[in-house]
Amino acid sequence: MKEMSVQRALKTKVKTNYFSFKCDQPIFKYKVDTEPQIPPNQVGLFFRILSKLRESLTEKMSPYQPSSFSLYSPVHIEETTLNAEYDNVNYTVRIVPSGMLEVSGEDRESLVFMGRFFKVLQSQLRLKQVGRKYFDDKSVKPYDNWKLKVWPGFQTSLNAYQDRILVNIDTCFKVLRETTMHEFIENLMQRFHGNQERVKEEAIGMTVMTR
């Protein structure tokens, strides 16, 4: 009986804020070559050229996700060539199938892809992004007695565990004061008896949001 009690005690249920990221369909990889060639350190130029081809790419392989001279999509297409003009330069863009992406926590490429893909998904939520955090400014909780408002939000990160990709989701809140900067400085002047140096120490470096 004692042995059975010990075994039962070891079966502990654990709740976590990590969720397994699953992909139920294949992701095809495409290498993107351009003529003239884009230098490796000018990835921004690559994205700007792709933006010129958005309509053509959407017709052929929507949805798709670019990532440093590559494209990823659940749609399979044969090798294709497109043309785009940017900054008075004509570019020939060749899209070449290069296999499939194995979504795994052990694969660096899939981690980079999922990180970009997850950012795109979050941007579609129409939330207010502050740094790496997202806040819902439509679900504000007011505290009028203290001239405060609280925005509920969350922050996420991707982590690899063995062969799985895990999404960590943490709740967070942003507290906004409803006082104006003028009111805040006046209060500091009263608090520090007109000592402007102390007021500067408190005020400089603060974040001020305007409407």
Q: How confident is the chain (211 residues) per 10-residue block, as mean pLDDT?
A: 50 76 86 94 92 93 89 94 94 95 82 83 88 91 90 90 86 89 89 91 82 65
- Do the beta carbons of residue 23 and residue 103 sit within 8 Å? yes
Domains delineated in the chain: 26-101 (3.30.70.2620), 108-177 (no CATH)
Q: Cα(204)–Cα(7) distance, rounded to whole angstroms? A: 59
Task: Quick: pLDDT tens for 152-211.
Answer: 999 988 888 888 888 888 999 998 888 888 888 998 999 999 999 998 998 888 877 776
Distance linking the first and last C-alpha atoms of the chain: 68
Task: Indicate the DSSP class of residue 139.
Answer: S
**pTM, full prediction:** 0.67
The DSSP code sequence of 72-86 is EESS----EEEEEEE
